[in-house]
Amino acid sequence: RILFIILSKDHQKVVTRHIWQEYLEEADHLRHHKEVKTIYAKRKETIERVFADAKEKHGMRWTTLRGLKKLSMQAMLTFAAMNLKKMANWIWKGPEMA
C-alpha cells in the first residue's frame, strides 16, 4: 500500500493515497467475513498449490537463464505444460467438482 505524506509549500501536511487504496481496503475487509473465510482457506489447496508444484516438479526454484524475456518465456512454457497435464488428466478421468 502506498501512502505519501508531503509537506506542502504552505506548511500543511498533504496525504496522498494510492488510486486503488479504497478497493484494497474493501478486499481486505471482505476477506474476514465468515462466508469468505471458507473460500479463502481453500486458496492454499488450489492456487498456491500450482506455484508449489511449479517450484518442486518443474524446476522453477532457480534458473540458469538471464534476462526478463528469457525468464518470461520459461515461465510461460512451464505453465503451458502444467495446463496441458491438467487437461490430459481431466480428459482421462473427468473434471473434479470443487
**Does residue 77 lie in a domain region?**
yes
Lowest average pLDDT, out of 7-21, 27-41, 83-97, goes to 7-21
Where does the pLDDT of residue 98 fall: very low under 50, low under 70, confident under 90, or very high at 90 and above?
Answer: low
Q: How many domains does the chain have?
A: 2
Q: Residues near 4 by Cβ (< 8 Å), separated by ≥ 6?
A: 14, 15, 16
Domain that holds residue 54: 14-61
Exposed e or buried b per residue across 18-54, where buried means at least 16 C-beta atoms within 10 angstroms of its C-beta: eeeeeeeeeeeeeeeeeeeeeeeeeeeeeeeeeeeeb
Q: What is the pLDDT of the chain when averaged over all its residues?
A: 81
Residue 53: what pLDDT? 85
pLDDT single digits (tens) 49-95:
888 888 888 888 888 889 999 989 998 999 999 999 989 988 888 66
Q: What is the pTM of this model?
A: 0.51
**Does residue 79 lie in a domain region?**
yes
C-alpha distance from residue 23 to each of 17, 18, 30, 45 (Å): 12, 10, 10, 26
How is residue 14 written as a grid cell? 498533504
Strand, coil or helix: 64: coil
Residue 38: what pLDDT? 81
Q: Alpha-carbon distance 86 to 54, whole Å?
A: 13
Where does the pLDDT of residue 23 fall: very low under 50, low under 70, confident under 90, or very high at 90 and above?
Answer: very high
43, 81: one domain:
no
**Does residue 44 lie in a domain region?**
yes
- Closest by CA position to 78, among listed 55, 45, 96: 55
**Does residue 9 lie in a domain region?**
no
